[in-house]
Homo-oligomer: A and B are copies of this chain.
């Protein structure tokens, strides 16, 4: 921080911190702009300036006449982070088939990706995403166990919505940013058979780290996607 951090940045940081701390669970309204202006002893315009960026990032959602809400992982919001679609670009929700759940310890790579110590306790889950009734993507997830106390296979598999939904509702962790690396490669035989690929057929390998509101990494995900009839969509402005 500088000697003179702008007020709107201070306010923004304070709001983010409160959301990250779970004081405003997803779906709940923030105090009204006037109330926030009073609490932070600043003008309404400064409050708007502070929240503008969060709205753009999808952390908050403003509705005229209703209020400003902490965003939830609605299906619509999911597509910010789900990039696999049919070539015509039609957005379709994947069906998730749970495979297994286990406790592990972080190896060198996992620890580095998640900002943890070597051998830190991890939770690992595997599942298979289906699109159009066919297997499309095989995913392996690692979570820092300390961030998800009490999470087990039953709760993981029995969740009603998406994975990020679960993180948010049950553990107050809102995924707001993901960093991905993509490669083309030949998947191992076991992966290929899950995806219905012949031996030697390539697939898209995706390595993802998901970050919470405060920027801390909360999930490492490795995935193999069958891109014979699907494509990974990316759009940048």
Contact = CB atoms under 8 A, between A and B. Distances in A.
Contact of A202 (B180, B186, B225, B233): B186
A227 B182 contact: yes
A204 interface: yes
Nearest to A178: B236
A189 to B, nearest CB: 15
Nearest to A177: B237
Contacts of A227: 182-185
Decide if the interface of chain A is mainly helix, strand, loop or mixed: strand
Nearest to A186: B202
A65 B185 CA distance: 50
Interface residues of A, number: 33
Given A186-B202, A202-B202, A180 B234 contact: yes
A235 interface: yes
Contact of A236 (B80, B87, B181, B186): B80
A36 interface: no
Nearest to A83: B234
B182 A185 contact: no
A235 to B, nearest CB: 5
Interface in A194-225: 200, 202-205, 207, 225
A185 B184 contact: yes
Nearest to A53: B56
Contacts of A181: 87, 231-234
A57 interface: yes
Contacts of A204: 182-184, 204
A177 B182 CA distance: 20
27 contacts: A56-B56, A57-B237, A58-B237, A80-B236, A177-B237, A178-B235, A180-B234, A180-B236, A181-B232, A181-B233, A182-B182, A182-B231, A182-B232, A182-B233, A183-B184, A183-B227, A183-B231, A184-B184, A184-B185, A184-B204, A184-B205, A184-B227, A185-B202, A186-B202, A200-B200, A202-B202, A207-B231
Interface of A: 56-58, 80-81, 83, 87, 176-186, 200, 202-205, 207, 225, 227, 231-237
Closest 3 interchain pairs by CB?
A: A202-B202, A184-B184, A183-B227
